[in-house]
Structure formats: C-alpha cells, structure tokens
Structure 1
Amino acid sequence: MEIIAFLNQEWMLVSMLAVLILIYGWRERIKNGQPVTTQQATVLINADTAIWLDVRETKEFDAGHMVDAINIPHGKVAERLNELEKHRDKTIIVVDKLGQHAGSTGRLLGGKSFDVRRLTGGISEWQNQGLPLVK
C-alpha cells in the first residue's frame, strides 16, 4: 500500500524516471549499431555502400555465409580491427547467429568511429527468409 501511495504522490518523479530509462535503453540500442532488416541490409550491400562482417566462429561461417562476407569471430574483432580499416568508408553490417554478439561488436566498432548496423535476427533470420548462403 505504501508503494501505491508513493506513486500517487510522486507521479511526476516516477514518470521522469520511466522516461529516462526508456531514453537510456534507446540510446544504448543505437550505440550498439542500428538494427537493419534483411531487406534494408540487402539494399545497402547491392548499392556497394556496405559490407558483411560475420562474427560467428569459423566453423559456423564455413557451413554457410553471405556472399563476400568477412569472418572475424566476435572474440577476435578487437585484435583484428586493422582488417576493417580499408572498409572505413562503408557501413559494416554485423551478422551473428541470433544477434547475441552483434551488440558488443557494434559497440566496439562504433567506438572506433565505424558506421555500424546489426542484422536483425542474425543469420537465422536470413535463412528463415530463404535467402542465399555460400559455402
């Protein structure tokens, strides 16, 4: 009952806290690389303004990946940033299995001033839509 009384008395304070939490969540999401759908990613790739960065382990990458994708496992991206320097003028679309590592990789690359996007749903969503992979 005390919580309800507090919420009634301090509704403005509680509302401001909720707004700040939403803004923080939105900002963190964008900071990790803006999410893009498979269709948006394909448009960027076809316009030659983006590249794929597949952060899955090499074994998973070899089983099937997007055409011309660069494979750097998520645990090695920080030490292999020099491989991405020649692509600095392009958007880097980070791909992983389900989206679990794309956020941390996106944050790392964004912190190094790369233009980063994350493929929504990862390679699983790509496959669910019947889009092609190469081996």
Structure 2
Amino acid sequence: MGEFIETEVYTQLARIGKALASPVRLRLLDLLENGESDVEGLVTASGVGLKNTSAQLQQLRGANLVTTRREGNRIIYRLAGPDVSRLLGSLQTCAEVRLADLRLAIDDLLGNSSELQPVTAEELRAHIDDPRILIIDVRSSEDYARGHVPSAISLPAAELRQKMDSIPRGVEVIAYCQGPYCVLSPDLVRLLRSHEIPARPLEGGITRWQREGGALQTGEGSAGAAS
C-alpha cells in the first residue's frame, strides 16, 4: 500500500511537469500573464493555429494551470492563480542557470542584456518616486490600461520612436515591456542611448515586477504624458 501511495503522489506531481513540457503551452502561459484572453486572441498573439491552441489550452486546463469563464459565446482563459506565475518564474530562473543553450538563445533574442544594466524590480520599487527617473511602459495602450507600474507613463514602442524629442532631458528612462523574453524594451533602450538619453530596461518586464509583489495601477490616467 505504501508503495502504491508513493507512486500515485509522484504520478499526480508529474501532471504539472507534463503540462509544462511543451513550448506552445509555455508560450500560452506567458501570454496569459499579460491578462485573460479568448482563444482567438491567443491565436493572434502566439501565431499558433486555432485547433492546436485550443488543444493545448485543454491540456493546461486539465492540469488546473488555467481556468475559464464565459462571456456570451466566448470562453475566456486566465492563469489559475499567482502561484502559477511564480512556478513559471522559478522554472525560467532554474533553466537559465542550468542550460547554457537557453542562455545563448536569450542572447540571440535580446542581445547582450548585461551591457544595458537592467534595473531589478527591487531597485525600481526603492526609487519609484524619484523625479530624476521617468518610467515608460512601451506596451500597447490597452495593456497599459489593464495594469502598469505605478507612476509609469504609456508610450507604446512605435510612438516612442516618433516622439524621441519629447523625452525630457536630465532624467534616466526606465523602460519596460511584458516579460523576460520581450524584445521591445531592450531595443528601445538601445535606441534611446543612441540619442544620448540615459536609459535602462526593467529586468523581466512587468511580469517579473508582479511575480516579486509589485503593485499595479489600472486605467489610462498617465497615458501619453511625455507627448
């Protein structure tokens, strides 16, 4: 009996490992950290076909990593809880330490991030009210409205490229996008630096900010403040 119980325990634990053992499912979970979404929205964001996306979501739902609600005829998916986000963070951190191939893939994607001297969530919390810092959310205005770092302004990536001259001098820009593998903020930090504007990215984006207990503001009150 003892052997059977032990086997069943590990069988149940393995359900979570099996659910995470798919690049597509990991990508969908990352996208759902940005907020709840229907299948069509996830298809558009991920580039994965509708049938495959639906099948992968059912796998995640079967392991209780995502939950759903109905909105008319639409099924809306979301992460089952903040513990799922923390699990993803622990997985990513462990993998980045243990897998040299992953570190190379991240460098290929983001470039040499160490040269950008990323700001940690802890550092930003300590200086969030510093008038010498301008925090810019480079995601879409819709993402900003759903939740952003307190005191951040909304300046989506495409607009920032066009409004470079509107960035006040004499401040350091802290730019952030969605998650640890988002290319927008590192690319824009390099662009800002090429215009002699001091800038650094927020390490791990708003995803890591939330994972480490950072508060969010909602609404559009600070959108376009640098225009």
TM-score (norm 2): 0.43
Quick check: 2:128–2:151 contact (8 Å CA) kept in 1?
no
Change (3 A) 1:109 1:30: farther
CA distance in 2, matches of 1:128, 1:28: 24
Paired residue type of 1:57: S
Deviation at 1:78, TM superposition (A): 1.3
Secondary structure of residue in 2 paired with 1:56 = coil
Instruction: Give the conservation status (yes or no) of the 8 Å contact 1:49–1:91.
Output: yes
> Are the equivalent residues in 2 in contact too, given 1:34–1:116 (CA < 8 A)?
no
The residue type equivalent to 1:116 in the other structure is A
Structure 2 unaligned segments of length 5 or more: list them: 1-107, 219-227
- Map 1:107-122 → 2, pairs under 5 A: 107-122=190-205
Q: 2:144 aligns with which of 32, 57, 61?
A: 61
Which residue in 1 is equivalent to 2:215?
A: 132
Larger RCO: Structure 1 or Structure 2 (Cα < 8 Å, ≥ 6 residues apart)? 1
User: Which one of the candidate residues 130, 153, 163 is aligned to 1:70?
Assistant: 153
The superposition leaves residues 61-115 of structure 1 with CA deviations (integer Å, 9 ceiling, x where unpaired) of 000011221111112211011331x2x2111001100142111100110001111
Corresponding position: 1:102 with 2:185: yes
Where has structure 1 moved over 3 Å in runs of 4 or more?
Answer: 27-31
Structure 1 unmatched ranges of 5 or more: 1-24
> Does 1:29 pair with 2:124?
no
Mapped contact 2:176–2:206 kept (Cα < 8 A): yes
- Alpha-carbon deviation of 1:28? 4.7
Residue 128 (structure 2) pairs with residue 48 (structure 1): no
- Secondary structure of 1:67 counterpart: coil
Number of corresponding residues: 107
Contact 2:129-2:151 at 8 Å conserved across structures: no
SS of 1:126 mapped into structure 2? helix
Normalised by the length of structure 1, the TM-score is 0.71
Change (3 A) 1:47 1:76: closer
Measured in 2, the distance between the counterparts of 1:110 and 1:28 equals: 15
% of aligned pairs identical?
A: 25
> What's the RMSD between the two structures over aligned residues?
2.0
Contact 1:54 1:96 survives alignment (8 Å):
yes
Whether contact under 8 Å (2:136, 2:174) holds in the other structure is yes
Amino acid at match of 1:29: S
